[in-house]
Structure 1
Amino acid sequence: MQLSSLQNGSDIRGVAMGPQANLTAKEVDTLSRAFALWLAERTQHSALRVAVGMDARLSGPALKEACITALADCGLFVLDCGMASTPAMFMTTVSDQTHCDGAVMLTASHLPSDRNGMKFFTCQGGLESGEITALLRLSEGDLPRGRAGQVQTFDFISIYAEGLRQKIQQETGQTQPLKGLKILVDAGNGAGGFYAEKVLQPLGADIQGSQFLEPDGHFPHHIPNPENAEAMQSLVDAVIRHNADFGLIFDTDVDRVGAVDKGGVVLNKNRLIAAISAVLLRETPGAAIVTDSITSTGLAEFIKAHGGIHRRFKRGYKNVINEAIRLNHAGQYTPLAIETSGHAALKENYFLDDGAYLATRLVIEVARLHQKGLCIADLLADLSEPAESCEFRLAIRTDAFRDFGQSLIQALFAYADTQPSFQLAPENHEGIRVQFSPEEGDGWFLLRLSLHEPLIAINIESERAGGVHIIAQQLMKFLSAYQGELELSPLASYLT
């Protein structure tokens, strides 16, 4: 098997358990040695330090051991951080207490329990897609081995949590700023349980009612994913049942977060973006907020009304982060890059997509508003939300799915020029976004090629009941010519 088949953008992803396993201790050994070589060439350091952590997956301990053993055999000093979060592993490269040249996180985010993967970091952030490709090329050559390194067990998640506690204390000016607040955490049996016990509780919060804090790679209760409807409903029910002031839900490796406000008000997707945007734009009016491509018209209006500039960009957390960095370099202050999935990276935090840091920023605001008898949902009073929204994912049946997807999008651009009701959205950076007047559906659709899967993704929103159906009908007239190459049944079923 070619290791290059394991590349998933800027990550390594594979099946780690069962008869189809293609990411085993053997592959991790090779990739870890390649990372050691890549890091040595990049840093020119003779004595390298690397931290290694894992999420709650059942395959994690064996793969972590393979990674640590390989790195030590390359002569590195290795910190075994055990159960950790992806953002915490990056922080080992910038922390004064660890001074690591690099870090490795064993995780496959929200993917099924039989999957696993590897994320690689330096103090510059996660490796980019091109750097992963270079690392994979190195894995095909001679790799270092037979050098006696050292391994030290290191509880870095407690140091990371201490930094988050200090942030809350500094911003509120209190040692126990969460006293009198009931804040729940749903970790989904991933790696995020530490946030309740090591961040919230020491600051005075009542965390009774928090759920699924214990790591369990079977993920027995629900998928640890803030985008998953069942997972969000589980937290909504807990917040209502325990009359909590706020609730937080993390994905498996804690680089994403969703929230639920008092009374069970869901704060994810556009609402989550609006909430943190309101906080940041109060602090720095005139700033730009970078989001992914599927955000709503109402969110764009909300950001503008709060004195900000909305920059809608491509999906993919690396894409929005890099665009925010580019804007800052160009002179436009941009404090936030965020996706509707819950990936959020703040300039003040190394532009690291860090679910626990975003949660911390929200908790600070919860404490501030609580003193005034308000809650996060009050920040969203002027957020206009669509009457309807739907997403359709259409499988591509051809092997050359990227070529097909690009040709389909180009054909749709040409088709849109012939349709009076199709109004191309200005400054769209992914796929094709088309707007419709009140008479023709009062909304928009975005059609794009999935980042990693052979799928065409379609998002449709409308400001009125029945509007999505009207827009979908108009789009279906174009797509029906591709029924041989596209699985149209999800859209067809909706229209019948």
Structure 2
Amino acid sequence: MTDLNQLQNGSDIRGIAITAEGYTANLEQQQVERIAKGIITWLKQEKGVTHTPITIAIGQDSRLSGESIKQWLIDAFMTEDIHVIDVGLSTTPAMFMATQFPEFNADCGIMITASHLPFYYNGIKLFTKDGGAEHEDIEFILEHAPETFEKTNVVGHVEEKEVLSAYSKDLVDKIIAQTQSDKPLEGFKIVLDAGNGAGGFFAEKVLETLGADTTGSQFLDPDGHFPNHIPNPDNKEAMASIKEAVLANHADLGVIFDTDVDRAAVVDKSGEVINRNNLIAVLATIVLNDYPGATIVTNSPTSSHLKTFIEGLNGKQVRYLCGYRNVINKGIELNSQGIDVPLSIETSGHAAFKENYFLDDGAYVVAKILMLLPKLKQQNLELSDLIADLKQPAETTEVRFKISGADYKLLGESIIDAMHDLVAETPGFIIDMDNEEGIRTTVFDHFGQGWFLLRMSLHEPLLVLQVENDVDGKNKAVLETLLSFFSRYDFLNTDQLNKELEG
């Protein structure tokens, strides 16, 4: 029997739902039904849901295994007094909003998704009216998932009711209220790339409703094979695809979502890609205009230039741990301490606004940008003009080192500890103390001008090295020095670093 604990992925559940490409399925009917019973116990014992029936809304993205997993959840829920709302195709943010919209009033929202991972993966994200599940919640659910249970009684009830129309109307109403226009996007051509995920609705239900011409939009039809590109706004091929569509259609803006629409990025009319540090800078500009002097929480691998940019807007940046729940929770924590944090955002595109339940919502990110477009047009400005002062590095490199051994976390942390000695003894390296994850080092003199960050991967046996430099060609000098350090450890695979240096 599958050890359910191996299905925990931080604050989500994730596994192999389809045996393929050498991967054996471990998220099948038996595991899903057990998880369903664990969810019920969690809602009753940990979330304090005492009324009956308990209302659970369930939706899925375009993954091939989504319908099966949903049905297995429903079958298990039907053995108890549960009112299931089957919303069909949905997005992660919409499933949270199903706990907020009065016409759904769900005690729990379940989203079946594995974000941008290959087609054979799938998983479960959970929400209550208070927000997303935490790491500890998933632990509780998996620990309270019974090995067997009685399936004969059918006492629950299933209702079919789609949620994306209500979710879209909520976004449209907010954009209209902010712009004070029923058709604020009239005269704009906006191209959407949904990556064959769940975000295709946004073209018709939001962009066209607000007056935009969406000619040239691509990959709007749900297809769990993801035949065109990885649905990931942090992926170079995906961003190249939407950039090409913007330029080919002479669009004013390009929008791209990941599979379950909790992340987004955009491309301006000139083809400039606005993701990662650039997206953080744009959104920081928006929120600091509304909340002068506020603090933006990000994850650790942001550019040093981003900090300079935010401080130039009279804002503050807190670099925190990777992991979208970590970044969101840090923003919530600081707000509770009286520090104004209107935005928490990761370089991957997970962005959560205080004004929007601190929900990481890619469509809401785009809505914030859409609210700004008419004003920029009046001022004869482009989106990229907002970040003209954000300096761009000449070189960026990311290297991942696989760690062998069962105690990979301890081994990885031992390397990070040893890196402190290397930095101390290397002229041109100095530790950057404004960091809470791994070790961040400023490089200078013959290493150029930049920084590198070495940290543990959140969920995999990997060390992740990120290097940026303002001097073209100098990342190689940094990597050469680090290669001799990493080569000391026989449990560390340095193949990718060697390829970088050879290339």
Specify the TM-score bucket, using the shorter chain as the normaliser.
over 0.9
Match of 2:70 among 51, 64, 68: 64
| 2:154 paired with 1:137 | no
**1:379-415 superposed Cα distances (whole Å, 9 cap, x missing partner):** 0110111111110111112222111111111111233
Query: How far apart are 1:142 and its partner, in Å?
Result: 7.0
Q: Which residue identity is paired with 2:128?
A: T
Query: How far apart are 1:147 and its partner, in Å?
Result: 5.0
Match of 2:297 among 290, 313, 320: 290
Aligned pairs for 1:228-243 within 5 A: 228-243=235-250
Query: How far apart are 1:212 and its partner, in Å?
Result: 0.5
Residue segments in structure 1 that go unaligned for 5+ positions in a row? none
The equivalent of 1:371 in structure 2 is 378
| 2:129 paired with 1:123 | yes
Match of 2:51 among 40, 46, 50: 46
CA distance in 1, matches of 2:244, 2:378: 25
CA distance in 2, matches of 1:69, 1:216: 25
| 2:183 paired with 1:176 | yes
The equivalent of 1:267 in structure 2 is 274
**1:219-275 superposed Cα distances (whole Å, 9 cap, x missing partner):** 111111111111111100000000000011000000000110112110011101101
- TM-score w.r.t. length of structure 2: 0.96
Q: Secondary structure at the match of 1:433?
A: strand
| 2:230 paired with 1:223 | yes
The equivalent of 2:87 in structure 1 is 81
Q: Which residue identity is paired with 2:217?
A: S
CA contact (8 A) 1:33 1:144 kept: no
CA contact (8 A) 2:42 2:137 kept: no
Aligned pairs for 1:244-323 within 5 A: 244-323=251-330
Query: How far apart are 1:71 and its partner, in Å?
Result: 1.6
CA contact (8 A) 2:34 2:147 kept: no
Q: Secondary structure at the match of 1:57?
A: coil
* RMSD after superposition: 1.3
- Greater shift in the superposed pair: 409-418 or 267-276: 409-418
The equivalent of 1:10 in structure 2 is 11
Query: How far apart are 1:437 and its partner, in Å?
Result: 1.9
The equivalent of 1:90 in structure 2 is 96
The equivalent of 2:33 in structure 1 is 29
The equivalent of 2:487 in structure 1 is 480
CA contact (8 A) 2:49 2:107 kept: no
CA contact (8 A) 1:56 1:189 kept: yes
CA contact (8 A) 1:186 1:250 kept: yes
CA distance in 2, matches of 1:399, 1:33: 31
Percent identity between the aligned chains? 45
CA contact (8 A) 1:37 1:143 kept: no
CA contact (8 A) 1:182 1:206 kept: yes
The equivalent of 2:164 in structure 1 is 157
**1:338-373 superposed Cα distances (whole Å, 9 cap, x missing partner):** 011111000000101100110110111122212222
Query: How far apart are 1:419 and its partner, in Å?
Result: 2.6
- Greater shift in the superposed pair: 235-244 or 484-493: 484-493
CA distance in 2, matches of 1:123, 1:44: 11
The equivalent of 1:348 in structure 2 is 355
Q: Which residue identity is paired with 1:253?
A: D
Query: How far apart are 1:144 and its partner, in Å?
Result: 7.5
CA contact (8 A) 1:74 1:144 kept: no
Q: Secondary structure at the match of 1:236?
A: helix
The equivalent of 1:207 in structure 2 is 214
CA contact (8 A) 1:190 1:213 kept: yes
CA distance in 1, matches of 2:27, 2:148: 20
CA contact (8 A) 1:443 1:467 kept: no
CA distance in 2, matches of 1:174, 1:470: 54
CA contact (8 A) 1:4 1:136 kept: yes
CA contact (8 A) 1:176 1:204 kept: yes
- TM-score w.r.t. length of structure 1: 0.98
Query: How far apart are 1:326 and its partner, in Å?
Result: 1.0
The equivalent of 1:396 in structure 2 is 403
CA distance in 2, matches of 1:144, 1:413: 56
**1:105-135 superposed Cα distances (whole Å, 9 cap, x missing partner):** 1101001001110111111111111110011
CA distance in 2, matches of 1:24, 1:440: 51
**1:403-446 superposed Cα distances (whole Å, 9 cap, x missing partner):** 11111111112332233332110121111001012443211110
The equivalent of 2:343 in structure 1 is 336
- Greater shift in the superposed pair: 409-418 or 342-351: 409-418
Q: Secondary structure at the match of 1:203?
A: coil
Match of 2:462 among 455, 467, 473: 455
CA distance in 2, matches of 1:92, 1:166: 17
Query: How far apart are 1:494 and its partner, in Å?
Result: 2.0
Query: How far apart are 1:102 and its partner, in Å?
Result: 0.6
CA distance in 1, matches of 2:242, 2:49: 48
Q: Secondary structure at the match of 2:488?
A: helix
Query: How far apart are 1:28 and its partner, in Å?
Result: 1.2
CA distance in 1, matches of 2:445, 2:282: 28
- Greater shift in the superposed pair: 439-448 or 99-108: 439-448
Query: How far apart are 1:205 and its partner, in Å?
Result: 0.4
- Greater shift in the superposed pair: 41-50 or 307-316: 41-50
Q: How many residues align?
A: 495
Q: Which residue identity is paired with 1:37?
A: T
CA contact (8 A) 1:312 1:429 kept: yes
CA distance in 2, matches of 1:437, 1:53: 50
